[in-house]
Amino acid sequence: MATLVQNARKRLRSQGGRMTGQRWLICETLESMSGHPTAEELFEQVQVHDRSLSLSTVYRTLRWLEAEGLVSSRRFDGDQRQERFDPVHPSEHHHFLCTVCKSVIEFDSPLIDQISEDFEELEGVLVQCRSVELYGLCRQCRASENKS
């Protein structure tokens, strides 16, 4: 499966853009971070490898990747201001968020299409996108909750 850097390089080439060290690092770092980081979190992680890379560049790169459909941005319940970013996967997927440790688990279910089709029939609308978010306690946090 193509990595984010590979996809980005392809897009850049086709539009006369350049795969700079900064873009490379941002893509690689984003892909290595599991939990849908904010721009700020990604920036901090990127700075470990390049002290001089700026937050503007992180934002500019993320927005470009988003426009290219390679990265998606969202806000989860309880996120007040900052957006979260993650590489777009080839297949649609949805999110479970642990309200204690903030970890994210991705999932999918055929029932989501069913819901969508039921609703189309009921209302006469056309559904083009679906987003399901579940919130609760992950396995670990659930266990430690029980102990205390």
Contact present, 76 and 67 (Cβ < 8 Å) = no
Stretch that binds DNA, among 19-27, 94-102, 112-120, 140-148 (CB under 7 A): 19-27
Contacting residue, 12, 112, 138, 141, with DNA by CB under 7 A:
12
Single-letter code of the amino acid located at 79: D
Interface with DNA, residue 30, by CB under 7 A? no
Nearest CB to DNA, comparing residues 21 and 136:
21
By residue count, the chain amounts to 148
We find the least distance from the C-beta atom of residue 33 to DNA, in angstroms, to be 15
Quote the tokens at residue 79. Answer: 């996120």
We find the least distance from the C-beta atom of residue 117 to its own copies, in angstroms, to be 10
Contacting residue, 2, 3, 34, 40, with DNA by CB under 7 A:
40
